[in-house]
Amino acid sequence: MKKTTPPSFHLDKLPGHLMRRMHQISVGIFMSEAEATGLTPIQFAALQTVSQQPGIDQKTLAKGVALDTSTTGGVIDRLEARGWIERRSSDSDRRVRLLTLTSDGEKALQDAIPMMLATQERILSPLSKTDRKTFMKLLNQLVNENNEFSRAPSQSVK
C-alpha cells in the first residue's frame, strides 16, 4: 500500500486559523485597554445587552450574545458577585431569571465604553477608512450567513 503525503499548506492561508488569531488579538487588546476594570469582552457584551434591555431573561441574553446558557450563567454569576447585575425571578415563571444592572453596574459599563471603543480603534487601525468599511461589511456577511453553524447561534435581541 502506497503512503500518500498530505497536501502542503501554510496556516496563514486558512481563514479559520486567521480568524482564531484575530480573536486572540482582539481579546488581548481588549484586556490591555480594560485591564483596570477587570472586565472580559463577554462580560462587557452582557452588561451592554442588559443595559439596553433591562429585565431581559438569561436565556434571551445567551441567544443575543451567542453563548450557551451554562456559560452565560457563569458570566452572570461573576457580574452578580461584583455587584453589577441583579437577578430576580419572574413573577410569571419562577424558573426564569430576569436581569437588571445595578447602579454600580451602570457606572462600570459607562467607564468601560471608552476602553471598548479604543479597543475597536486599535483592532482596525492598520486599515484605511475605506478598508474598514469593506472589512466590516464582509465580516458581518460571513457571520450572518454562517450563523447557523455556530454551537450557539446568535439571535438578535432587539
Confidence (pLDDT) at 107: 96
Q: Calculate mean pLDDT across residues 52-67.
A: 94
CA distance 76 to 101: 11
Confidence of residue 52 (pLDDT cuts 50, 70, 90): very high
Q: Calculate mean pLDDT across residues 39-63.
A: 95
Domain ranges of the chain: 15-149
Q: Over 70: is that where the pLDDT of 156 sits?
A: no
Confidence (pLDDT) at 158: 43
| CATH for the stretch 15-149 | 1.10.10.10
